[in-house]
Amino acid sequence: MTAAKAKAPAKRKAQPERSFLEGIDVDRLAALVFELSSQLHVERHRRMALERALVGRGVVTEAEIAALAEDQAFLDAAREAADRSLRKLLRILAEDGDRRAPLRKEAL
Residue 11 in any domain: the answer is: no
Structure confidence by residue, pLDDT tens digits, 48-81: 999 999 999 999 999 999 999 899 999 999 999 9
Residue 13 in any domain: the answer is: no
Residue 105 in any domain: the answer is: no
The range of the structural domain enclosing residue 49 comes to: 25-96
Which residues have CB under 8 Å from 35's CB, separation 6+?
Answer: 89, 92
Residue 104 in any domain: the answer is: no
Residue 69 in any domain: the answer is: yes
Residue 88 in any domain: the answer is: yes
Candidates 82, 70, 80; CA nearest to 39 is 82
Domain total for the chain? 1
Residue 101 in any domain: the answer is: no
pLDDT: is 24 or 41 the higher one?
A: 41
Residue 9 in any domain: the answer is: no
Structure confidence by residue, pLDDT tens digits, 89-107: 777 666 665 555 555 554 4
